[in-house]
Amino acid sequence: MGSTLKHDDDAMTLGIVGVGKISEQYFAAFESLPGVRLVAVADLDLDRARAVAEAQGVDALSVDDLIADPRIDTVLNLTIPAAHAEVDLRVLEAGKHVYGEKPLALSPAEAEPILRLAEERGLRVGSAPDTVLGTGIQTARAVLDAGTIGRPVAANAFWGAPGHELWHPAPAFYYQPGAGPLFDMGPYYLTALVTLLGPVTRVQGASLRSDRVRSAASDPDSARSP
């Protein structure tokens, strides 16, 4: 069973691993992308995978079967951050391209094998965010390249929000080791700064826990995170 959308005959065929909240944005984007065709989805929650597959008109497969499916060219890795590196490596080992949600991995030690394997196999690997390709950052890049404002010496980025537990349907994973604001929202701003100003040579950080206990108002049964 294939997608009900109309696509080019030579469309890139996709499979999605992880059909949580973020997957909704990808499904919406597919409506305006005739160059891609969704073939199958997989999730540890089999009932959710089946429900999403039925809604999208595609197959629901196990993670292993999706990665091995010869119909699929590229896998979208929309799992939780702690699983990104493992799934990416499995996809690359199966000879498929992979694009994942942010972050690429939880550490440089996890990310390096992904990039190395992709290069060895002649495969492509990508990771959100792609917002640096948008008009705002690309315009800023052009202004810097043209020397319009001279040599930049500093930049500042700021994000403020009360917490995912107020809106996300299953926010518990945001507060597990390997998650949190830096890995969730940080990539947008760090990627923009690196794109505009160049590689990072030194890092300094600090943290503050404003709330000792967070109650998940969006799904009270999903988490009560310390």
Q: Is residue 7 part of a domain?
A: no
Last residue of a domain, one of 127, 161, 181: 127
What distance separates the 2 farthest-apart alpha carbons in the chain?
56
Helix or strand (DSSP H, E) at 99? strand 97-100
Provide the sign of the torsion angle of the four alpha carbons 212, 217, 218, 223, taken in this order: positive
Provide DSSP, 16-54.
EE--STTHHHHHHHHTT-TTEEEEEEE-SSHHHHHHHHH
Q: Is residue 203 part of a domain?
A: yes
Domain count along the chain: 2
Residues 59 and 62: their CA atoms lie apart, in Å, by: 10
* Residue numbers of the domain that contains 39: 12-127
Q: Is residue 6 part of a domain?
A: no
Question: pLDDT tens digits for 43-55?
Answer: 999 999 999 999 9
**15 touches 69 (CB < 8 A):** yes
Assess whether 31 and 75 both reside in one domain.
yes
Q: Is residue 1 part of a domain?
A: no
Question: pLDDT tens digits for 124-156?
Answer: 999 999 999 999 999 999 999 999 999 999 999
* Tokens (6 digits) for 89: 């490596």
Residues 40 and 17: their CA atoms lie apart, in Å, by: 9
**17 touches 78 (CB < 8 A):** yes
Q: Where are the alpha helices (DSSP H) in the chain?
A: 23-30, 46-56, 63-68, 84-93, 108-121, 135-145, 181-184, 186-197
Consecutive 10-residue averages of pLDDT for the chain (226 residues): 46 97 95 94 97 98 98 97 96 98 94 98 96 95 96 89 79 76 87 94 85 69 43
Assess whether 207 and 137 both reside in one domain.
yes
Last residue of a domain, one of 68, 98, 127: 127
Assess whether 211 and 117 both reside in one domain.
no
Last residue of a domain, one of 61, 96, 127: 127
Assess whether 89 and 63 both reside in one domain.
yes
Assess whether 51 and 116 both reside in one domain.
yes
Assess whether 123 and 176 both reside in one domain.
no
Q: What DSSP designation does 57 have? A: T
Name the pTM for this structure: 0.83
